[in-house]
Structure 1
Amino acid sequence: MSLRSARHLTSVYLVRDEQVLLLYRRGSRAIADSWVGIGGHLEPAELTDPTAAALRELHEEIGVTADQLTDLALRYVAVRDTGAEVRTTYYFTTTLLPTASRPTECAEGDLHWFSLTEDPDLDMPPTARIAFRHWLRIGRHDQQLRFITVDADGNETGPC
């Protein structure tokens, strides 16, 4: 097995009024155009603090700050082997306070609020699809941390 590079990312599912905000990300260097939570790469100083990275990305991408949120929680840790690199993504959920403005714009792509009662068939990266669909059906009703793995052949396990 050859040595591979590593990539560390965050993704946040922002909830308000029984809806979740997703981003149709365009022109990413890591993934094809697709639906994702709000997030991005961890900076070197954030490798031991993915929560700080998630908060930074929320602020940079949609202007939301920590004081506008409640119940920020790490819900899924996903590891995906792409064959060329190992990607670790930290999936968070949080609630936007009623006093905060709803984000409507993002320079990274198009924002859309989806109802928590629907399970939309969206074009998503592999671990994002697994985490999001599981969270909609099961994970949002508890506070467990779950783990997902996807190997280079696309075989998945989890959430466990």
Structure 2
Amino acid sequence: MEVRQMATAFLCHGDKVLMMKKARSKIFDFEFWGGIGGHLECEELNFPMQASYREIEEETGFKQSEIENFKLKYILIENNSGEIRQQYVYFGETKHMNFISSDEGELFWIHKSELLDLHTSKLITFTIEQYLENPDHDDILVATVTANHEAEALVHWTTMKETMTF
């Protein structure tokens, strides 16, 4: 089984979040919305925040110095299409709303009240719901995705705490 590691960022400015609309991807063959991000390069496997900053600059033009309060909030884990997908999800605030377009998709500032109306993957929908309900939480939450008897996706959230080993 292969492992796919990704980093995704949601950049906020006031009550708006920068979202990317894509016509399709390697995974989906239809239009969908998501945050800013992509796959970790080999040299970034131990540094997902570095990968996230790289993806942000490539896809939006925002530099690290233009982003504040950038924090890892979620780690998402799922078994999908024969691979384990692990996604590091960051949230941060931008100092301005000016972005540079990229070939990855179309960027739009979306009001937080409209985020759940967008066509996103189930896991991103679960993550946005969690964020909107608890925007100020400081813990890192880990989500695993399972399915019920009807094959509907379910999410299980766990708070990641530091452990002491002896």
TM bucket (normalised to shorter chain) is 0.7 to 0.9
TM-score (norm 2): 0.84
Query: Which letter does structure 1 place at the counterpart of 2:10?
Result: Y
Mean Cα deviation higher: 140-149 or 46-55:
140-149
Matched, 1:53 2:48: no
CA distance in 2, matches of 1:26, 1:43: 24
Q: Which residue in 2 is equivalent to 1:64?
A: 62
1:151 is the counterpart of 2:150: no
Higher-Rg member (1/2): 2
Structure 1: 5+ residue runs without aligned partners? none
Q: Which consecutive residues of structure 2, in runs of 5 or more, have no partner in the other structure?
A: 159-166
In 1, Cα distance between equivalents of 2:41 and 2:75:
17
Equivalent residue number for residue 135 of structure 1: 131
Kept in 1, the 8 Å contact 2:16–2:112? The answer is yes
Shift of 1:81: 0.5
DSSP-derived class of the 2:117 partner:
coil
TM-score (norm 1): 0.87
Q: For 1:84-123, list aligned pairs within 5 A.
A: 84-98=82-96, 101-103=97-99, 105-123=101-119
Native 8 Å contact 1:31 1:125 kept in 2: no
RMSD in angstroms over aligned alpha carbons?
1.8
* Identical amino acids, percent of aligned pairs: 25
Deviation at 1:134, TM superposition (A): 1.2
CA distance in 1, matches of 2:132, 2:100: 22
Cα deviation, 1:95-119, whole Å, max 9, x if unaligned, reads: 1014xx5215231111111112445
